Amino acid sequence: MSYCLSPGCPNPHNSLQVSVCQACGAKLLLRDRYRVMQTLGQGGFGATFLAIDESLPGQPNCVIKQLRPSATAPHVLDMARELFKREAETLGRIGNHPQVPRLLDYFEANQEFYLVQEYVSGSTLQQIVKKDGPLTELGVKHFLSEILPVLEYIHKNRVIHRDIKPANIIRRAQDHKLVLIDFGAVKYQQQSQTSHSEQTAFTSYAIGTPGFAPPEQMAMRPVPASDIYALGVTCIYLLTGKSPKDLDYDPTTGELLWKKHVHISDHFAKVIENMLEVSVKRRYQKAEKILNELDLEPYLESLEKSMTKQGGTGRKPGGYREPDSSGGSPSSPAARAAMAIRSRQRFDSSGIQSGAGRGSGIDSRSPLSSSLKNRDNSAGRRREFTGEKSKIPVRLDADSLQTYYAKGVRDFAAHDLNSLSLPRANLAGANFHQANLNKINLQGAILSNTDFGRANLNRANLRDTNLVKAYMSNADLEAADLRGADLSSAYLLNANLRGANLCGANLTGAKLTEEQLAMARTNWMTIRPSGKRGMW
């Protein structure tokens, strides 16, 4: 079917064989190359359509945006024209990022404005949640680990998206990567004060989606942290399946009342809480800060325990070196956190700010310091409940590990478990982030929802294991035996699969690329992420 874009056309549907609309006589081939097939959506300032480019071999799909303001007042038309121009300039500027649609064309025809961009095949996060239900805490953390680098990239290019929401984030079918779309509401961070003419054109309307846009954006004063607020609301949607309009809010502060709808860790709740701060000053200012706190979480408990011993230098559990006596600044977030904890212990409860705020780069009032205190208290309560009296040794034998697990301990991050024999063990939901699992025997084990991020699983025996929804990003699985393993919905992006044996493995819904699988061994019994069985 060929679709007519003439706004007043009484019947825009035409057959593919005709070159002009049978109802209004308008040309159906835009710029003599783009044939519109169907509508995709309608916004306040434009409509989007699925089209094919008949001038290219294979006639690939593309997306066409047509300027179509909902009002005809001159200032609204000027604003819509400026927004379209900005979107084209933005995509041309940042569209070389693999998770941002590429700009293909931008032109005016018959006093109508058109923008042509790459078509992203896949499902939006809104569609995924409506179909499959809310995500788990681990799933939302995976989402943040994927989307925050994209946000960091556009902010470094002085671009504020202003319309981040589940409907504008697509899980691309080709490689399962997240793609941020719809840059029609972007705003550049000006190095100088905004011109008077720009203020006149843009201060008549607050741009963004109500509920996702923070107060300062609705007041037409967006900043990069405005995107972080919208991303926080998106996390709430992914965890609950509820739109912000379906949530209560505090009429005094304007804060969303979301915590009663979720069951997540205290640390992650604090991260989201800081993303959703109504006050811009107290909100996260950079995406990198959120990534640092999420990366640090697996090490918080071991860092707290390691600080119970005074003095001494060298490497602590997790591989981080304490700052030396020369007074040099620690070089990693974990090292800075360790210094903050140590400094806090040197002071009493008189209210004096600790050395964390002066030498470590972490203020004692910061979200990270607060989360460390909360985690410290929760760790103490857990040890009291389980009877754990001393810290877990970095090197464990098989019996000790299973004993700790039976007592409720799940955090074995950065531990040395080299060559242990744990066949058919139940270690579901455990945290082995950055642990040494070289040549470990976990044949037939239950490892669903387990965190193996950045772990060394070189030559590990994972034959017939249950690894459903396991997190294995950046894990080293070189030469690992995964024959018959259930890896459905596992997250394997950036994992090293060189020489890994995936014969007979179930990869239905798993997140990984064809390039990764090309390095692994597969056979006709291997089930692809699509659910089909066969060779790659």
Residues annotated as catalytic (active site), given as ranges: 163
- Alpha-carbon distance of 226 to 527, in angstroms, equals 42
Residue 48: strand, helix, or coil: strand
The alpha carbon of residue 97 and the mean position of all alpha carbons in its chain are separated, in whole angstroms, by 15
Largest Cα–Cα distance in the chain? Answer: 85
Quick check: 233 and 128 in contact, CB under 8 A? no
The label of the residue with tokens 């916004």 reads 43
In angstroms, the first-to-last Cα distance of the chain is 34
CA–CA–CA angle 50, 53, 55 (5° rounding) = 170
CA-wise closest residue to 187 among 216, 222, 219: 222
Query: Torsion over CA of 374, 379, 385 and 390, rounded to 10 degrees?
Result: -150
**Residue 310 has which token pair?**
């005074």
- Alpha-carbon distance of 356 to 348, in angstroms, equals 14
Query: Torsion over CA of 460, 461, 466 and 471, rounded to 10 degrees?
Result: 10
Helices (H), 121-176: 125-132, 137-156
**Residue 468 has which token pair?**
């459903």
DSSP 517: H
Strand partners, 257: 248
Residue 20: strand, helix, or coil: strand
- Alpha-carbon distance of 51 to 117, in angstroms, equals 10
Quick check: 28 and 16 in contact, CB under 8 A? no
The label of the residue with tokens 């097939």 reads 37
Strand partners, 290: none
CA–CA–CA angle 125, 127, 133 (5° rounding) = 85
How far apart, in Å, are the Cα atoms of 391 and each of 305, 338, 375, 380, 386?
7, 16, 15, 11, 13
CA-wise closest residue to 235 among 163, 143, 150, 146: 143
Q: What is the DSSP string of 479-507?
A: T-B-TT-B-TT-B-TT-B-TT-B-TT-B-
Q: E strands of 18-111, at which residues?
A: 29-30, 34-42, 46-53, 61-67, 103-109
- Contacts by 264-268 with C-beta closer than 8 Å and gap 24+? 264/137, 264/239, 265/137, 265/297, 266/371, 266/374, 266/375, 266/378, 267/293, 267/297, 267/300, 267/371, 267/374, 267/375, 268/137, 268/140, 268/141, 268/297
- Alpha-carbon distance of 509 to 486, in angstroms, equals 11
**Residue 497 has which token pair?**
């699969």
